[in-house]
Amino acid sequence: MPSMGIEIESNDINKNAPPVVVNDEPKSQSSNEQMDSVSEQSHSNEISIPNEQEIDHSPDDDEEKQLEDELEDIDLNHKVQTDMTDSPGIAEVMSKTSIHSRRMKILSKIPFFYRSKKAKKPEIRRLKLYEIFKFADKLDIFLMTIGTIAAVITGALFPIMLFIYRQVTNSLVDMGKLNVNITAVDNINNRSGECFIIPNSTNQTTSPYDAIMGIIKYYVLIGFISLLFYWLAWASWMIAAERQIRRIRFTLFRNILRQEIGWFDVHNPGELSNRLIEDLDKVKNGINEQVPDFISLLSRMLGALIYALVTGWKLTLVFISIAPFVVLTFNLTVAVIVKYTIKEFQAFAAASSIAQEVLQNIRTVTAFHGQAKEEERFAKNLVVAKNIGIKKGIYMGLCQCLSQTFTFTAFAVTFWYGPELVRTECHTYTAGTVIVVFVACMIATNSTAQLIPNFQSFAEALAGGSYVYEIIDRKTKIDAMNEEGDKPRNIAGDIEFDNVTFTFPARQDTSILNNLSLKIPSGKTVALVGASGCGKSTTIQLIQRFYDPDGGLVLLDGKDIKTLNVAWLRQHIGVVSQEPVLFTGTIEENIRFGKQDATDEEVIAAAKMANAHEFIMALPDNYKTSSGDKLSGGQKQRVAIARALISNPKILLLDEATSALDNESERVVQDALDRAKMGRTTIVIAHRLSTIRNADLIIGLEHGRVVECGTHEELMTHRGLYFELVMAQTQKEAEQKCGDEEDDVVEREFVRRSSSILANAKVLQKASIPVDDLFENLDQDDEALANALWNNDSLLRIPFAFKILKFNAPEWPWILLGTIGSIVFGAVQPAFALFFAKIYGLFADPDLEQQKHLTSVYAVLIFVIGFVGGIAQLASSIGFGKSGEELSMRMRKLTFSAMIRQEIGYFDYEINSVGALVTRLSSDAAALKVIVFELTISDESNDCYW
């Protein structure tokens, strides 16, 4: 067989290979080559539609229940496996851009895949609280130290206030005793074992009233000191938190970018977007004002408790005896929060992944009317998240109910025992002593109760931080930012595969390359052909070192590419893919991405080489024109070619660079590619085999092995794999109708924008924006138009909260339950204050029998108040938890449904990018739950009895 002098291992070439049936697609096909067979097998210009069984396949009810159970029990690290068990939606079947979804469809057919994947997924290590601050620098540490000291001082001021309050209480009681009938007192003092001391007003130099007025000034002084140190504590911690979060966010994003491509095969973009948004928000909430709040409350609790022990240890010990039960409920609360918060992360990450996948492929979803199917997939994960949230609310309410009951039990016992000590140990326990000990214990208890939201924030921060830091700490297997590795001064461009075997990390049960051996000489153009899944795209990915082979060597100029510096290697490789990807920015900036230090002359030279200079100069802002949907597919591809050529790479990889273009655009781009090939080692994977006829060498691959090689004429004579592919494509082209020429760019823009404006005409009228003016200025920037709609205040005049609560109407019984519970719980404060005020009257009452009786009655009533308040708190948590989760799920579903049913022009606006829309689903829609649940619970938790 002719070989053009190129060395190919003889055992890799089967000269007598049978003809290849193009539509007989191997099961082990590579994920990023799967759509090849569609274009090679189809008999029309359009993508061939899979059969009905492929599109409409969905699991039965048992499988759906199994999905919910798995989402509830597995760790977030195994989320990708859960996605694989889900039924493929239309976007998964049809999308040409979603490589991940096509891979999922294939892997879902492999029954033993899940077990092998589970065995490989490591457990995520839970963070310790101090580890969350490891990104703090010296200035942050200084700020946090100052903030901590200030927070301790704010808490320590409370014992001083208690000392002053004790003097006030004694003065108030003395004022009452001065009015007592002396005869009654004589009768009381005759009772054995009891005392009732009346102050001698003739010996007092200062009246109780004057004493109280003299103490007031100390309260004012303490108030000013508290204000100063509160501001210092909160400001210091919040500044330090913002600095650390910015550093964490940057480091996380940087470490995501430096991971090897194989890592992204098992971490889809939806999950990573969730990490950057929601998880980091949880970390931020756990290290900002929550920390000084926690320190201040802890300092207040310890100070009050110590003061109570010093002032009246007997009464304090009675109160403390019930404290272990309160602490136990706090621990249960934290455990519940951590457990169910992690499960919420799992479910919402899965839903965000589906949303991002669908929005990225919205044109395909719309073309095949797949909205209903995708809504069903999205809603399935939301139901799981909703059930988890409801359970979380129930258990938190139960824990808070127990905490409330135990706390008021301690109050009741202390309330009963205090007057008894005054009657029996009047020289040690005065009325002021009992009341101040009681207040100190209340402050200690309520400070502890107010720590619950802080514990919740810390628990959520640790849960979110565990996943964030796991990504940050992960060492990539192929680090493009590492300076290690050889950087030869010159590169010839000789490439060799020596017995290379390879399997994808996410598909280790399926071999892609099997002892592949071939040599590609410098300066030659080599085309790789074969059926989908034969290893064409995998080959060029190994050359770029996106992956490392499992066995064998990939050599560049005789050197193993593993020994070369990764960044240096990729700088000498230019890549043009099937789908041109342009980033946000100008055309000039996109071209300069290929070489950061490129001059303006180099940018223009690269554009000229790519046949892009002329159309760029015809644009309004030339090279400063913003890249985006204003450019046609062919224009985008030429900008991508210019980006690949600006670094003057010695190796050029063309992976179906013209397959997504129409005939006219393909001719222009192909001409640019032909010019770019000159003097470079070029490897081509072609959509149309007619474009590789002039290649120096054509290599046929089948099942990851070389089966034939040669020129076009030689392989056509041989009548092997290449001959069969050419014949199949020739027959397909003969049956196709000639495609229409590319539409005029201005006309296409007019149709796109006008359809978007007409669809939103009613909104425009409400916003008082003249529609005619918009049509007259269709050439204005998309972002300016969108911002005009977005920033118009008239759209927000209707009370927003009432509009949102209308969506919660089906849950009105639950809202009513939560409202009644909140009202009852709110009444606990004034009811308790009423009985607390009775203490002063009890100590001034000379009738000790009446005093004993009232003490017992009030103690029982305080216990009842606490028990009823606990039940009310449980009802509030259940009612608002249920309604809040239902609202959150309903708003996410409605928002997602509205998004995917918009006209395509809607997605062309910058504010409606995939990232922005996913953020609205994950953060904005979830924030609506605060209206009916979290604000209420938070306010209740932060109520203070003091």
Residue 185 has pLDDT above 60, yes or no: no
Percentage of the residues of the chain whose pLDDT score is greater than 90: 4
- Strand intervals (E) in 36-181: none
pLDDT in tens, 496-547: 999 999 988 877 778 888 888 888 888 888 989 888 888 888 898 899 888 8
pLDDT in tens, 672-686: 777 777 778 888 887
Instruction: Kindly give the interhelix angle for 138-177 and 290-311, rounded to the nearest 10 degrees.
Output: 40
Per-residue model confidence (pLDDT) at position 418: 80
Query: Considering only 66-80, 85-99, 290-304, 554-568, which range has the smallest mean pLDDT?
Result: 85-99
Per-residue model confidence (pLDDT) at position 445: 76
User: How far from each other are the two terminal CA atoms of the chain, in whole angstroms?
Assistant: 95
Instruction: Kindly give the interhelix angle for 208-257 and 290-311, rounded to the nearest 10 degrees.
Output: 140
- Token representation of residue 581: 């990807």
Per-residue model confidence (pLDDT) at position 243: 92
Query: In whole angstroms, what is the distance from residue 188 CA to residue 209 CA?
Result: 26
Query: In whole angstroms, what is the distance from residue 205 CA to residue 669 CA?
Result: 104
Indicate the helix (H) or strand (E) that contains 702: strand 697-702
- Token representation of residue 666: 């393909």
Per-residue model confidence (pLDDT) at position 211: 66
Per-residue model confidence (pLDDT) at position 110: 38
Closest Cα to residue 867, out of 825, 819, 818?
A: 825
User: What's phi and psi for 586, nearest 5 deg?
Assistant: -85, 170
Per-residue model confidence (pLDDT) at position 175: 57
Sign (positive or negative) of CA dihedral 719, 725, 731, 737: negative
Between 71 and 129, the higher pLDDT residue: 129
Task: Please give the C-alpha separations between residue 89 and each of 175, 504, 793, 794, 905, in angstroms, as whole numbers.
Answer: 80, 23, 39, 39, 23
Mean pLDDT of 756-762: 49
Closest Cα to residue 535, out of 521, 558, 523, 552?
A: 552
Beta bridge partners of 708: 700
Residue 456 has pLDDT above 50, yes or no: yes
Mean pLDDT of 28-34: 39
Indicate the helix (H) or strand (E) that contains 527: strand 525-529
Query: In whole angstroms, what is the distance from residue 941 CA to residue 558 CA?
Result: 69
Between 584 and 103, the higher pLDDT residue: 584
Per-residue model confidence (pLDDT) at position 607: 87
Per-residue model confidence (pLDDT) at position 771: 42
Mean pLDDT of 34-51: 36
pLDDT in tens, 248-268: 989 888 888 888 888 888 777
Most confident of 22-36, 43-57, 244-258: 244-258
Rg of the chain, C-alpha, whole Å: 37
Percentage of the residues of the chain whose pLDDT score is greater than 70: 69
Per-residue model confidence (pLDDT) at position 206: 53
Task: Please give the C-alpha separations between residue 903 and each of 140, 359, 628, 651, 744, in angstroms, as whole numbers.
Answer: 48, 12, 17, 42, 20
Per-residue model confidence (pLDDT) at position 238: 92
Query: In whole angstroms, what is the distance from residue 839 CA to residue 851 CA?
Result: 10
Per-residue model confidence (pLDDT) at position 937: 46
Query: In whole angstroms, what is the distance from residue 936 CA to residue 16 CA?
Result: 77
Closest Cα to residue 712, out of 527, 533, 534, 521?
A: 527
Asked if 312 and 437 count as a contact pair (C-beta separation under 8 A), the reply is yes
Question: Cα angle at 825 between 823 and 828, to 5 degrees?
Answer: 115
- In the predicted model, what is the mean pLDDT of the chain? 72
Between 762 and 270, the higher pLDDT residue: 270
Residue 231 has pLDDT above 90, yes or no: yes
Per-residue model confidence (pLDDT) at position 935: 47
Count of alpha carbons within 13 angstroms of residue 720, beta-carbon side: 26
Mean pLDDT of 323-333: 75
Q: Which residues contact 470 (CB under 8 A, 6 or more apart)?
A: 124, 125
| Alpha helices, H only, 258-311 | 261-264, 269-274, 280-287, 290-311
Helix (H, G, I), strand (E, B) or coil at 266: coil
Asked if 703 and 534 count as a contact pair (C-beta separation under 8 A), the reply is yes
DSSP code for 531:
S
Please state whether beta strands 681-685 and 525-529 pair in parallel, antiparallel, or not at all (unpaired): parallel
Residue 173 has pLDDT above 50, yes or no: yes
Looking at residue 858, its amino acid is: Y
Residue 121 has pLDDT above 80, yes or no: no
User: What's phi and psi for 211, nearest 5 deg?
Assistant: -65, -40
Confidence class for position 144, pLDDT limits 50, 70, 90: very high
- Strand intervals (E) in 779-873: none
Residue corresponding to tokens 């118009």: 792
Between 668 and 636, the higher pLDDT residue: 636
Query: In whole angstroms, what is the distance from residue 636 CA to residue 619 CA?
Result: 13
Task: Please give the C-alpha separations between residue 253 and each of 246, 267, 273, 275, 363, in angstroms, as whole numbers.
Answer: 11, 14, 10, 10, 28
Between 576 and 86, the higher pLDDT residue: 576
User: What's phi and psi for 486, nearest 5 deg?
Assistant: -70, 150
- Token representation of residue 630: 């204003």
Between 318 and 128, the higher pLDDT residue: 318
Query: In whole angstroms, what is the distance from residue 824 CA to residue 733 CA?
Result: 77
For the domain 131-477+809-942, what is the CATH superfamily, name and number?
ABC transporter type 1, transmembrane domain (1.20.1560.10)
Query: In whole angstroms, what is the distance from residue 717 CA to residue 894 CA?
Result: 60
Indicate the helix (H) or strand (E) that contains 652: strand 651-655
**pTM of the predicted structure, to 2 decimals:** 0.58
Query: Considering only 110-114, 202-206, 571-575, 660-664, which range has the smallest mean pLDDT?
Result: 110-114
Per-residue model confidence (pLDDT) at position 802: 62
Closest Cα to residue 175, out of 423, 437, 432?
A: 432
Query: In whole angstroms, what is the distance from residue 808 CA to residue 793 CA?
Result: 25
Confidence class for position 237, pLDDT limits 50, 70, 90: very high
b/e map of 569-601 (b: 16 or more CB within 10 Å)? bbbbbbbbbbebebeeeebbbbbbebbeebeee
Indicate the helix (H) or strand (E) that contains 501: strand 495-502
Mean pLDDT of 189-213: 52
Sign (positive or negative) of CA dihedral 691, 695, 700, 705: negative
Between 353 and 190, the higher pLDDT residue: 353
Indicate the helix (H) or strand (E) that contains 607: helix 600-609
Looking at residue 620, its amino acid is: P
pLDDT in tens, 784-838: 444 444 444 444 444 555 666 677 778 788 888 888 888 888 888 888 888 777 7
Query: In whole angstroms, what is the distance from residue 326 CA to residue 401 CA?
Result: 11
Sheet holding 513-520, edge to edge: 513-520, 495-502, 551-556, 559-560
As a dihedral over the C-alpha atoms of residue 625, residue 626, residue 632, residue 634, rounded to 10 degrees, the angle is 70
Query: In whole angstroms, what is the distance from residue 535 CA to residue 29 CA?
Result: 8
Query: In whole angstroms, what is the distance from residue 290 CA to residue 270 CA?
Result: 29
Instruction: Kindly give the interhelix angle for 371-424 and 848-900, rounded to the nearest 10 degrees.
Output: 170
Residue corresponding to tokens 């770029």: 544
Confidence class for position 153, pLDDT limits 50, 70, 90: very high
Closest Cα to residue 882, out of 945, 813, 938?
A: 813
Residue corresponding to tokens 């490989």: 120
Q: What DSSP string runs through 865-905? A: HHHHHHHHHHHHHHHHHHHHHHHHHHHHHHHHHHHHTS-GG
**Residue boundaries of the structural domains of the chain:** 131-477+809-942, 753-797
